[in-house]
Amino acid sequence: MGIPPNLAAEVLAKCGRHCCICRRFRPTQLQVHHIDERKDGGGDDFDNLIAICISCHSDVHTNTKLTRRFSDEELKRHRDNVYRLVADGKLPSGIAGSDDLVAITAAVIETLRSKSGQEVADDKDFPLEALDILLCATAEKKPVKILRENSAVSVHAGNGHFLFGSGEVITNGRPTSVQKLVSLGLVEGSADVLEVTSKGYAFADDVMSANPRYTMLKAKCLHCSLHFIVCTDFPERHSHATLICPECGQQQGAFLIWHQQMFGFIFQSVPGRQQAVAGAGIDLKATQSFRVKE
């Protein structure tokens, strides 16, 4: 039986749909989670619930030897701090790009300029935020939408939400970063709705191909509640049908699974001792997993 919807709604409202660990605005990527798990005697009371994004979920359950894991008391303090910040208006909805976009830096943009169209390559003022907006739009194949409220302007691109205050430079009714995308021919359309052009998709492909990346599969066994991750270059080989719980051996497909594209190399996400996940047809050299217990 899941957490009662009315309690889940109260938790999400109190945190303003911010993750209580990383404090990012994650409107559609939050889970209402038990601080003290049911299997350990925890209940559905409001004080035992916390909103955590998918990215932080595994970190919360990681058992570490040399560092301290999250305690129940610490989780409650993180949660209460976020509740207070939201109530005081100090934690508004801001940029909420995809997790992998955080790894894109100005240095990466310089690398891309050498691979992309000459017009983009020659533009030394291509802002990082413009790249974030473009990648959010192309990742979800969604248009860039501009909303105006009083003196603020918000930009919605896929799962990304960008807020520009009155102090931001606005050109033709658009933030400078969006106008830059328009001037370079990466997006086009009306004043408020802009579609990514073929040139824009090509540029986004350059971003993705210019950096090493892999897929992180996050899974929870519904039999023993073990959380574990599988980092792989071949995500199509891992599904409910192929996963085997490294704790209880369950292989009937009773898993909750999330996929996330990651920049970098697999070894950077798998601390300590690496173990291969069993499964038919899996190339063990290209797959590593990390177990975390609740």
pLDDT digits (tens, 9 = 90+) for 109-124: 555 555 444 555 455 5
Domain boundary among 153, 180, 209: 209
220 in the same domain as 171: no
Q: Is the pLDDT of residue 261 over 50?
A: yes
Contact 288, 275 (CB under 8 A): yes
- pLDDT, one tens digit per residue, over 192-201 is 899 999 888 8
Of 77, 83, 72, the closest CA to residue 17 belongs to: 83
Query: What is the token pair recorded at 256?
Result: 């909750």
97 domain residue, yes or no: no
Per residue in 4-22, pLDDT tens? 888 989 999 999 888 899 8
Question: Are residues 227 and 204 both part of a single domain?
Answer: no
- pLDDT value of position 135: 81
Q: How many domains does the chain have?
A: 3
130 against 98, higher pLDDT? 130
Q: If we measure between CA atoms, which residue out of 201, 100, 192 comes closest to residue 141?
A: 201
Which SS3 state, helix, strand or coil, does residue 68 take?
A: coil
Which residues in 173-199 are b (16+ Cβ under 10 Å) and which e?
ebbbbbbbbbebebbeeeeeebebbeb
Q: Is 121 a domain residue? A: yes
Does 78 lie in the same domain as 11? yes
Let me know if residue 94 belongs to a domain: no
Q: Pairing relation of β-strands 174-175 and 170-171?
A: antiparallel
pLDDT, one tens digit per residue, over 212-251 is: 667 788 888 999 988 888 888 788 888 888 999 988 899 9
The answer to whether residue 49 sits within a structural domain is yes
Residues 234 and 258 in one domain: yes
76-85: pLDDT as tens digits: 999 999 999 8
Query: Residue 272 falls within a domain, yes or no?
Result: yes
Last residue of a domain, one of 209, 242, 269: 209
Q: Does 82 lie in the same domain as 31?
A: yes
DSSP string for residues in 2-61 = ---HHHHHHHHHHTTTB-TTT--B-TTSEEEEESS-GGGT--S-GGGEEEEEHHHHHHHH
Which candidate, 76, 86, 111, 88, places its Cα nearest to that of 209?
111
Instruction: Give yes or no: residues 134 and 183 share one domain.
Output: yes
Q: Which residue type does 124 have?
A: K
The answer to whether residue 100 is domain-embedded is: no
Range of the domain at 53: 5-87
**158-167, 196-205, 207-216, 268-277: least confidently modelled range:** 268-277
